[in-house]
Amino acid sequence: MVDPDAVFANFVAHADGMDIAVIEGNRGLFDGKDVSGTQSTAELAKLLKAPVVLVVNAKKSTRTIAALVKGCIDFDPDVNVAGIILNRVAGKRHLGILRDSIAKYCGVPVVGAIPNLGDDSALIPGRHLGLITPSEYEYGAELRSMLLDIADNHLDVDGISEIAGAAETITSVRPDRPRGSSGNARIGYFKDSVFTFYYPENLEALERNGGQLVPVSSIADTGLPNVDALYIGGGFPETHADQLAGNRPMMESVRRAAAAGMPIYAECGGLIYLARSLKFEDRVYPMTGLFPIDLAMHAKPVGHGYTSIRVSAPNPFYPVGTSIRGHEFHYSGPEGGMQEVETCMKVEAGVGLGDARDGMVYANTLACYTHIHADGVEDWVSSMVSNAADYEMKRRDRKTENGTMGGGSQLVAI
């Protein structure tokens, strides 16, 4: 999704001034998108010159774990496997054999041994798209306390800190991007228990380029505040469908804003929100109805993985011909035809809306299944901010015109 130079620069910028930067791996250490391990955690560790602390499931295994660890160490000598955390350890005897085996054959320290805690799902509940988000989890404080206790009792925090402290010093060769002057463009974005999937860098980029971010709740607020654009990220509209459908005033506000030309950019869950309806667990919920499309949730993923998209028709955000790299993860898809739907993107890799299509367009609204990262699709940031600024200026001009021609009346903000 993002070029290595941008990944490197982002890491350096966010780690600056920190004592330790923790990089969470994805899937197995060497698992990437192809047999070469492209975009794997191992490749990321090499890019950032980061030591790796390998977490290994030790349940019902002893000496074999040493063989697995040794294999990871030798598989790519450029990956610095500097420590091991053992998970699901049965007891002291089990741990003793594991430690001795790893010490004899691998030569890396064991910096943690977490006991077998039973059913993981009972400790940290999940669902079809992953873990329950903190804002939705009723026992979040208790869970954090429990995890802290596990770390205190079963991790060698000092040993892990030493590994981090021995990491090679890195600096970014990419020049700092200057922060744009703070403009008047106010960009609203849904921020609540429904819509939670936003790359932080996307929000940072909007602010850096002059946008003023305004958080909005799709379920608690009854209408859009005074904003000049709306960004709707991904999330779980299906599990909150009843609440969303019950907040018709907000949906009406969004629909009026779109009809008036407000720039709206929606990704995945945002696309669902702007559809006509959503079928979930044998119930059909009315959505905003901005696009004449009915969606249904499925038991298995409809689209999951990296995407490659070519912009094929005019739209409010991207020039025709633009190539977009993104990511999709959705269990929903269209139910019935899409004859009434106008799209502006050709899917070259991935699923999107199906039939190699993605990107529904209405006025200044664009909704697609693909999630983008601001550093990978720089047109998005400039278009979002400039479109918001243009809309703000037009609203201001209309207010002035109405105030002059209508005896001082003011245009009601939508």
pLDDT tens, 351-365?
999 999 999 999 999
Question: How far apart are alpha carbons 113 and 362 in whole angstroms?
Answer: 54
Tell me which amino acid residue 161 is.
Answer: S
| pLDDT at residue 126, rounded to an integer | 58
| Domain span(s) for CATH 3.40.50.880 in the chain | 186-398
Angle at 30 between CA 45 and CA 23, to 5 degrees: 35
| pLDDT at residue 339, rounded to an integer | 77
| pLDDT at residue 396, rounded to an integer | 85
Asked whether residue 394 carries a pLDDT value surpassing 80, the answer given is yes
| pLDDT at residue 117, rounded to an integer | 86
Residue with tokens 């004449």: 292
Rounded mean pLDDT, 127-154: 73
Which ranges of 199-336 would DSSP assign to H, the alpha helix? 200-208, 241-246, 248-259, 269-274
Whether 268 is a known active-site residue: answer yes
pLDDT in tens, 81-127: 999 999 999 999 999 999 999 999 999 999 999 999 876 655 666 55
User: What tokens does 239 get?
Assistant: 């599990």
Whether the Cβ atoms of residue 59 and residue 171 lie closer than 8 Å to each other? no
| pLDDT at residue 231, rounded to an integer | 99
pLDDT in tens, 203-229: 999 999 999 999 999 999 999 999 999
Whether the Cβ atoms of residue 274 and residue 287 lie closer than 8 Å to each other? yes
Span between the terminal Cα atoms of the chain, in Å: 35
**pTM score, whole prediction:** 0.86
User: What tokens does 28 get?
Assistant: 């197995």
Q: Which residues pair with 187 in a beta bridge?
A: 213, 229
- Residue 303: in which H helix or E strand, if any? strand 303-311
Residue with tokens 């790519």: 76
Tell me which amino acid residue 350 is.
Answer: G
Which ranges of 196-328 would DSSP assign to H, the alpha helix? 200-208, 241-246, 248-259, 269-274
pLDDT in tens, 5-64: 999 999 998 898 899 999 999 889 999 989 999 999 999 999 999 999 999 999 999 999
| pLDDT at residue 409, rounded to an integer | 34
Catalytic site residue from 72, 106, 268, 344: 268
Rounded mean pLDDT, 314-329: 97
User: Which CATH fold would you assign to the domain 186-398?
Assistant: Rossmann fold (3.40.50)
Confidence at 405, pLDDT banded by 50, 70, 90: very low
| pLDDT at residue 124, rounded to an integer | 64
| pLDDT at residue 411, rounded to an integer | 33
| Of 350 and 412, more confident | 350
pLDDT in tens, 134-144: 666 565 678 88
